[in-house]
Structure formats: C-alpha cells, structure tokens
Chain A
C-alpha cells in the first residue's frame, strides 16, 4: 500500500501564480488534513476534512482553499501565491486518530 501520496514533491512558483497540491490516501480513512511546517513553528493545520463532503478551517487558512474530491482525495489550492507561503506542506489522513502523513511537498515562492 502506498499510504498517503502527495504530488508534486517539489515546486517553485512566482508570486501571484496559482497551483494545486494533490493528496490521495488508500487506507479508506474518513479524515484528511493539510499542514504547513516552517522552521521553529511546528506543524500548523491549514484545513481539514473530517469526512467526505465536509471541510473546515484550521489554524492558518488564509490564502488557501481546499476540495475534498472524494473519500480518497483532498487537494490544497493556492490562488495567488505569496512568498510567505514558502513552506513544506504535509497531507495526513486518519480513521479517528492517529494521523498518517505523506512525504510532503516543498514549495518555494519567489
């Protein structure tokens, strides 16, 4: 089993560009999450989806949108990228807890 798969692994954007980070899980988990991790800041929750068809804001949702496409897939969209969104992004999934993480996407915005 692949677990939680994130694409792409690396991306460089220019300020103002848009992009979508993809996440898929094959563990039949109900809940999915998007985090960003910055040095010294730990993991900060951007958005989560407790179940298919629902999404909710986390700690740092500004500048992001999400779509729970189906039970397997949860995407994160940056509509107009800003340098402050340079970070490592992790997707996670769970059936209750604990959460299982994907390998991450390293995103740089110039």
Chain B
C-alpha cells in the first residue's frame, strides 16, 4: 500500500509567521506532488504543484521537494487568518491516480 503521511495537527502559528507543513511518501516511483487547501465544508483546491527537486515559489507559498528523502513540504510566509484550513499533500501513483495524505490542519492565530 503506497502511502502519503502527514501530521494531522493542528499546527498553530501566529499571524505573520511562517507555517511549515510536511509530508513524506513511500512510493519511490512518484514523480509529481501537489498541495491542496481545503476549507471546512469546502472542496480541495489546488495551490501548488512540484515536479523536480528543489524549491518552487508562488507568492507567499513555497513548495520543497527532496526525492532522495521522499519528503515534500509547503511553507506559507506571512501567514494570515485566511490561511487557516486543512492542507492535503498528494503524490502521483499508478494508473492516473493520486495518493492523498489525511491532511494537516493549520490554525493562524491573531
């Protein structure tokens, strides 16, 4: 069973701080990795994709990938209360499928 592991949280950070969310995956064949944000009662929304080792930045978000360590992370700079949500990590698996982690709940406090 290929797995994606995330700490369920909640991860609590003060407004303006950097939030660091982490994810590990078991399938060494995974090539593509995604971060989704899910607000309570809403559907998952894609916020970052990363395909190669290193960092990828998009606004306040930075995704980091280390395939040797099978590790993916998401950094959120200048965290805002509106960033409070559950963040799902996903990795490509076999036959057009994604494997999702169970998500990390982020709380940004005032």
> Which residues of A does B touch, CB under 8 Å?
31, 33, 40-43, 45, 48, 50, 56, 58, 90, 94, 96-104
Contacts and interface: CB of A to CB of B under 8 A. Distances in A.
A96 to B, nearest CB: 8
B44 A43 contact: yes
Contacts of A40: 8, 102
B102 A41 contact: yes
A43 B49 contact: no
Contact of A101 (B8, B32, B44, B102): B44
Chain B interface mostly: loop
B7 to A, nearest CB: 13
A42 B34 contact: no
Contacts of A96: 96
B92 interface: yes
A94 B96 contact: yes
A81 B101 CA distance: 27
A48 B44 contact: no
A2 to B, nearest CB: 13
A90 B100 contact: no
A94 B100 CA distance: 15
Nearest to A32: B96
B43 A98 contact: no
B34 A98 contact: yes
